[in-house]
Amino acid sequence: MSLQLNEFHLPLTPEELLKSGGVSQYVVQEILSIKNLPSQLKAFQTAFQAQGPLAILEHFDTVYSILHHFRSIDPGLKEDTLEFLIKVVSRHTQELPAILDDAILSVSDRSAHLNALKMNCYALIHLLESFETMISETGLIDLDLGGKGKKSRAKSAHGFDWEEERQPILQLLTQLLQLDIRHLWNHSIIEEEFVSLVTGCCYRLLENPTIGHQKNRPTREAIAHLLGVALTRYNHVLSASVKIIQMLQHFEHLAPVLVAAVSLWATDYGMKSIVGEIVREIGQKCPQELSRDASGAKGFAAFLTELAERVPAILMSSMCILIDHLDGENYMMRNAVLAAMAEMVLQVLSGDQLEEAARNTRDQFLDTLQAHGHDVNSFVRSRVLQLFTRIVQQKALPLTRFQAVVALAVGRLADKSVLVCKNAIQLLASFLANNPFSCKLSDADLVGPLQKETQNLQEMRAERQTAAVSSVLDPEEEWEAMLPELKSTLQQLLKLPQEEESLKEIATAETTEEVTGHIRRLLAKASYKQAIILTREALGHFQESEPFSHMDPEESEETRLLNLLGTIFKGPAASTQENNSQGSAENMGPGQSGCKDKPSVSEPEKSRGKDELAKQEMLVQYLQDAYSFSLKITEAIGIISKMMYENTTTVVQEVIEFFVTAFQFGVPQALFGVRRMLPLIWSKEPGVREAVLNAYRQLYLSPKGDSARAKAHALIQNLSLLLVDASVGTIQCLEEILCEFVRKDELKPAVTQLLWERATEKVPCSPLERCSSVMLLGIMARGKPEIVGSNLDTLVSIGLEEKFPQDYRLAQQVCHAIANISDRRKPSLGTCHPPFRLPQEHRLFERLQEVVTKGFVYPDPLWIPFKEVAVTLIYQLAEGPEVVCAQILQRCAKQALEKLVEKSSPQDDLKKTPMLSTFLLMNLLSLAGDVALQQLVHLEQAVSGELCRRRILREEQEHKTKEPKGKNTSTETMEEEMGLVGATAEDTEAELIRSICEMELLDKEQILAAFVPLLLKVCNNPGLYCNPELCAAASLTLGKFCMISATFCDSQLRLLFTMLEKSSLPIIRSNIMIAVGDLAIRFPNLVDPWTPHLYARLRDPAQQVRKTAGLVITHLILKDMVKVKGQVSNMAVLLIDPVPQMAALAKNFFNELSHKDNTVYTLLPDIISRLSDPEGGVDEEPFHTIMKQLLSYITKDKQTESLAEKLCHRFRTTRTERQYRDLAYCLSQLPLTERGLHKMLDNFECFGDKLSDESVFSAFLSVVGKLRRGAKPESKPIIDEFEQKLRACHTRGLDAVEELEIGQGDSQKTPSAKKQSSVSRHQHLASAASDNDFVTPEFRRTARRHPNTQQQVRKKKPRIVFSSDESSEEELSAEMTEDETPKKTTPIRRASTRRHRS
């Protein structure tokens, strides 16, 4: 077999096998034709049965030809070839162990098996790759392989799933590589090309985008194991790491796949070095290069992140290589490194038993994470907060870092990025849920224990200090402490000669005790030198006295002196202790022991004291941390509550979740947030609405309790707390939430049962709890009216029973609950069922009449709100409610007259006017106003709806009884199709209701008309009727009466607006503002001329009035009931109101207004003019704040360009420096584009002369800076030209100012003056003409002005008209008459005036 002698070299490309590369190198002799391939394959199969795997040596050309024609051959042949090659390689794999173990294997046999191995593997792997390429290109998974013969047809029937075929091939190759096949090669060194052949196949399979799918998991695992064998047995580590880096850069889907493989190699195969190699390659990547290669950076980042999750301990040793990427520009790499650090903290560096080195590493990682909480990129800041959230949730954050990380989260709440804010809220919620301090975090509850324990700690420390001081005063210890320094001083003195003068220090009268006491004091004060000198003198002076007589002459002088000093210093104390011990021993009995045991007892006490002090310090530190944490959470609540109404749904949902968590942990301020989220139930976003429902469901519908009744009691208590001091708006929101729960049957029957028991006092409860129970029953009745409808008599007896004093609060809530029986809405067209009404004789109305009329004569402030609800209920449910209310009015008026008669006795002076109590007059007027308003509502809703219902029924009846053939059928049919019949009928009904209101309700024969003179008298005489409550009730009643009739309203509008402006009481001004708002909707034509007076209330000194005016005007403008005029600038002023609620109201108004076409854009010129007006505007800084907010609504390019042109033209009409500074600031805030710049260049002459002002010049330079930031290269020359003109004009303007100051009188000297812009020259000449010392010749002035300025302007410049120029003639005349027009004006003002007149 000559083919066995030729060596098979693995080619880089298939074409290389066709060329001879050297002696004894195998070359493909012939590429067979497609028609010969089946027969040749059968010949190969036959040879295989005879020769085994070595048959490939003679038939390799057949397999090569199949690979060459792969795309063209029959699918059945492809499959047959694949199955056959799998069989060949499998057989070879089984035979190789015996061959490799054969010690007498010849060189030729070894070479033959090596060639066969390489050929078989080459053929199988290339066939595998061919199938994979075909599947990837065509996107086919199941190949319909048809063919001739029984076998092919069977395979075609069963189908061919390539994804199932790959795994066995890979497993076969793995088994092959696990054999010790290197012995087939010379020197047992396997060639790199063979390893690359097998591993390259794996890498090419990984490039398939679908490899990450779940169905391909077996293939992925097979690839990982095959590469794992190559790594461990064939030194493939370096090549694998380089290949993995390349694949991560080009294939984004491979990161999780490669992470799974690398983690498998590092753990199961023990190849931890592969992790280091890959990380080293990534770490050596240039950060600048990664900033340009976004795809590669994304792959690396995903790989590092997931690898850290799987093998953090192995990756941690290589983290130092990745640190440089934290300073790179690519944020994804920074996120990946930070995520890896967090995983190591979570999985490796957590726990209390860490060594010092591990603790330091953990602290470094956490420091890095905290530092990047302030990263320049919002995605990094957000990622850091997410990582800290995981760390906190898994309780891996050290307690010492709690305050710092909480402070970081609170600070990020003010971040500009919505994503960062959202994650900051999540982190704070995690802190609350996983805090180690307490389940109730109330700073008020923590401050008491903290102060108490701190005081205890201070006392313990003071006691310990006292004990320490007493122990320090022990003479023996003191002597030991001073001995080294004393010895040093003594040695220095002994070297010096003794001074003669020192002998005089001891007086003759001094005794031994006095000298020793003096020496002891000197030693205590550390005056060692003097003490030694005095001792040496005493030795000579008291040689016979103790303690100076007991001196051993054999000792050195130093030793003698030290012993003597020690005896002196310790002597008295020691002797005293000895005497005391002897005395105490004498006094002890025989059964008592001395004080020798005392030291042994004190040692345990000392250690016990230290332990107690340490425990107390830990306790105080714990309480201090808990208190600080609580304060931070409280601070966060204040910030988060302001984010509840953000535009981003996800942020709002996170805010709601946070407040739920905070409320569950007992943070007191959380109740504020829980209440504040209530209005979100009306949100148009389903996610927000559902979040609110879930929050209240979680907080209130799952109370703790052992039984259903206990849970119901807890639920009612929680809901009752929400109702305490709740506003009407809050109660309406709670109604909506509870109705939703009732409709879904989420409230258990036990809750309703307990509410009825509390309402009927079957269960003991306070009056307030009883009232709240009735309120909750009424709220639930909106969802299910039968809750109240079936117990109507019970409710009447609960709240309207005869008793004194009457509980009007309970009665009011009973009326509210009963009102929910019927639908308050206007009946819809086509409703055939009559509305729910009760007869006039019903007990409900009898009791209401009785309670209202009896309470009328008593000064109870709760009677007025009850009376209003009672009248509303009567009109809502009674048949003929006007009769019932007329009776109430008559009875109350009769009682008032009786009281008046009682006060005017016959003995009184006849000239003296009888006086009625203020509260009676107030009650009477208030009752009349309520009846008037409800009568109007009754007519326009109930009566009108009933008329419509009856008409529809009548028409339906007529339609049924109508004969099929009529005379006017065609005409009637035409009218019906055009909708004229129904429209005419509706107009007739509306006209009927209107005529009743106009002609009858306030007719002299009607009962309401009787109250009009009294009402007008009170309103017209505020000095006589000065009671604030009476005036407020009268003003409200007047507004309600005006709602009835247009005629009456027109006659009383002047009185209303006079009270609105002149009244000294804010409550009256607020009430009238609300009334006028309603009138503007009902009678818009009547109120329209008075609109400026409405806007004027926006600058009212009282906050209450400003708020009311803001709400009313917002409602009217957004509902298009009032024309938006320039006076809306008063609303803009509220943006800088010192009261935050007012500023928020104004901001909300302009936010909504910005959605209405071009309204804000249209109003801006007028607002700018009014706010910058020196007489009625605002200061400069507030002006900037307002305009920055308003100009942020201008986002369209056309609006920006047009507004820039308008503002440029307004420079000509400015009268003060402040005005053109304001205009320049407004221009600087516009988002100008290149077209906007062209507009400014075209109108440069309008503002060129103002550039001498530094503020104006700076504003225009900021415009240039903004234009440069996003400018295209072709736009830069225009921007440069504009900047050059700005700078040139700025310099020339300054020169002109200097010339004017010097007072040069010749205006026609220099040529530069002739080159000035027409506007600038125009203004200079005008100013010169007004100067007595300088007059320009007439002929020169006219010759220069007309051709150059006016004519050109009229030709080129279009006429700019502002909304203020379109005002009505009445408004213009009201602002300024001809006589009031200033006589001295600038020429520009004269030109403007002429334009108005023309």
- Structure tokens belonging to residue 972: 């009637």
Residue 824 has pLDDT above 60, yes or no: no
Q: What is the mean pLDDT of residues 425-431?
A: 89
Residue 1377 has pLDDT above 60, yes or no: no
Residue 643 exposed, middle or buried by CB count within 10 Å (0-12, 13-18, 19+): buried
Question: DSSP letters of 859-891?
Answer: --TTHHHHHHHHHHHHHHHBSSHHHHHHHHHHH
Q: What is the mean pLDDT of residues 1137-1146?
A: 88
Mean pLDDT is lowest, of 502-516, 1002-1016, 1357-1371, for: 1357-1371
Mean pLDDT is lowest, of 707-716, 839-848, 878-887, for: 707-716
CA distance readout (Å), 1025 to 232, 1008, 1019, 1032, 1214: 104, 21, 8, 11, 50
400 vs 875, residue with greater confidence: 875
Which residues, including other chains, have CB under 8 Å from residue 399's CB and lie 6 or more apart? 436, 625
The predicted pLDDT at position 381 comes to: 92
Write down the pTM of the prediction. 0.68
The predicted pLDDT at position 867 comes to: 92
pLDDT tens for each residue of 949-972? 888 888 888 887 865 544 455 545
Closest CA to 1200 of 1152, 1171, 1235: 1235
| Residue type at position 1311 | P
- Structure tokens belonging to residue 1181: 């800084």
Tell me the three state secondary structure of residue 995: helix
Q: How confident is the model at residue 1198 (pLDDT cuts 50, 70, 90)?
A: confident
Give the C-alpha separation, 1180 to 1168, whole Å. 12
Q: How confident is the model at residue 1375 (pLDDT cuts 50, 70, 90)?
A: very low
The predicted pLDDT at position 4 comes to: 44
pLDDT tens for each residue of 1029-1083? 999 999 999 999 999 989 999 999 999 999 999 898 999 999 999 999 999 999 9
- Structure tokens belonging to residue 84: 């056959």
| Residue type at position 1274 | E
Distance from chain centroid for Cα 513: 83
The predicted pLDDT at position 892 comes to: 92
Residue 448 has pLDDT above 90, yes or no: no
Residue 828 has pLDDT above 70, yes or no: no
pLDDT tens for each residue of 1253-1289? 888 888 888 888 888 877 777 788 888 888 888 888 8
The predicted pLDDT at position 468 comes to: 59
Give the C-alpha separation, 113 to 100, whole Å. 10
The predicted pLDDT at position 470 comes to: 55
Mean pLDDT is lowest, of 149-163, 447-461, 739-753, for: 149-163
Give the C-alpha separation, 1077 to 1067, whole Å. 15
Q: What is the mean pLDDT of residues 757-778?
A: 87
Give the C-alpha separation, 687 to 118, whole Å. 63
The predicted pLDDT at position 51 comes to: 83
Q: What is the mean pLDDT of residues 271-283?
A: 86
- Structure tokens belonging to residue 1259: 């504003």
Half-sphere exposure of 216 (CA within 13 A, CB side): 17
Q: How confident is the model at residue 831 (pLDDT cuts 50, 70, 90)?
A: low
Q: What is the mean pLDDT of residues 1202-1221?
A: 86
**Torsions phi, psi for 1378 (to 5 deg):** -65, -35
pLDDT tens for each residue of 1289-1303? 877 654 543 443 344
- Preceding peptide of 1182 cis, ω within 30°: no
The predicted pLDDT at position 38 comes to: 84
CA-atom Rg of the chain in angstroms: 50
Q: What is the mean pLDDT of residues 1147-1165?
A: 85
CB atoms within 10 A of CB 981: 13
Beta-bridge partners for 161: 142
Question: DSSP letters of 268-297?
Answer: TS--THHHHHHHHHHHTS-HHHHHH-HHHH
Residue 707 has pLDDT above 90, yes or no: no
Mean pLDDT is lowest, of 202-206, 244-248, 1266-1270, for: 1266-1270
Give the C-alpha separation, 881 to 387, whole Å. 67
Q: What is the mean pLDDT of residues 1359-1386?
A: 37
The predicted pLDDT at position 386 comes to: 92
E strands, 1262-1384, are: none
Q: What is the mean pLDDT of the chain?
A: 78
CB atoms within 10 A of CB 211: 18
Give the C-alpha separation, 696 to 712, whole Å. 15
Say which residue the tokens 């009559």 belong to: 834
Residue 3 has pLDDT above 90, yes or no: no
Q: What is the mean pLDDT of residues 1336-1349?
A: 36
**Torsions phi, psi for 258 (to 5 deg):** -70, -35
Residue 592 has pLDDT above 80, yes or no: no
The predicted pLDDT at position 498 comes to: 56
The predicted pLDDT at position 443 comes to: 61
Beta-bridge partners for 1376: none
Mean pLDDT is lowest, of 409-413, 753-757, 942-946, for: 942-946
- Preceding peptide of 553 cis, ω within 30°: no
Which residues, including other chains, have CB under 8 Å from residue 1234's CB and lie 6 or more apart? 1267, 1271, 1272, 1275, 1278
Mean pLDDT is lowest, of 179-188, 508-517, 1075-1084, 1189-1198, for: 508-517
The H-or-E segment that residue 960 falls in is: helix 944-961
CB atoms within 10 A of CB 206: 23
Q: What angle do CA 1294, 1299, 1305 make, to 5 degrees?
A: 155
Do residues 1092 and 1058 make contact, with C-beta atoms less than 8 angstroms apart? no
57-66, 548-557, 852-861: range with highest mean pLDDT: 852-861
The predicted pLDDT at position 914 comes to: 64
Q: How confident is the model at residue 1352 (pLDDT cuts 50, 70, 90)?
A: very low
Q: How confident is the model at residue 891 (pLDDT cuts 50, 70, 90)?
A: very high
The predicted pLDDT at position 1038 comes to: 93
Give the C-alpha separation, 189 to 666, whole Å. 73
pLDDT tens for each residue of 1086-1113? 998 898 888 889 888 999 999 999 999 9
- Structure tokens belonging to residue 264: 């498998």
Residue 103 has pLDDT above 50, yes or no: yes
The predicted pLDDT at position 852 comes to: 92
Residue 973 has pLDDT above 70, yes or no: no
